[in-house]
Structure 1
Amino acid sequence: MGLIGEVLLLPFAPVRGSAWVIRQVLHEAERIYYDPAAIRAELAQLEERLEAGEIDEEEFDRQEDLLLDRLEIALRGSAGTGEGTAR
């Protein structure tokens, strides 16, 4: 894009900058959400809550299924990348 194109698009610079920031925040949120270590920690906390009687078996099973689905996605997404997270 030439100088004229850059000058014409200058009024949209804040929008382009904001879109970049939003993409970066979304990427980081997904990285944290699909971090296998974080998911395993959540599973351990869930088991502690069950043992402490804070939740019943049905709630435990429901939440465990959700966490295991997330873990599967995370491990599938990081397979072969050498990273510990999805992406």
Structure 2
Amino acid sequence: MGLISEVLLLPFAPVRGSGWAIKQVLREAERIYYDPAAIRAGLARLEEQLEAGEITEEEFDQQEDELLDRLETATRQGAGRGDGTAPQ
């Protein structure tokens, strides 16, 4: 951008900066959500809850399906990078 356009757009700098910050937070949240280690830990906790009688078999099946879907998505996304992790 030229100097004139930079000066004219200066009042909008906080908005552009906020947009960048929101994108960074979203990217980090997605990285954590699709982290295979976190998903596997969730599956282990879920199994412990079932064995302890804290949840029913139906609740277990539903939550397990959701976690396995996330794990499959994470694995597919990581396969493109070759390191087994979700994209950043």
Q: TM bucket by the smaller chain?
A: over 0.9
4+ runs deviating over 4 angstroms: none
1:1-87 matched pairs, under 5 angstroms:
1-87=1-87
Tell me which amino acid in the other structure corresponds to 2:56: D
Give the Cα–Cα distance (whole angstroms) in 2 for the partners of residues 80 and 71 of structure 1: 15
Structure 2 spans left out of the alignment, 5+ residues = none
Deviation, 1:86, is 1.9
- The percentage of aligned residue pairs carrying the same residue is 79
Structure 1 spans left out of the alignment, 5+ residues = none
Question: What's the secondary structure of 1:82's corresponding residue?
Answer: coil
CA contact (8 A) 1:35 1:84 kept: no
- With the length of structure 1 as denominator, give the TM-score of the two structures: 0.96
- With the length of structure 2 as denominator, give the TM-score of the two structures: 0.95
Paired residues, number: 87
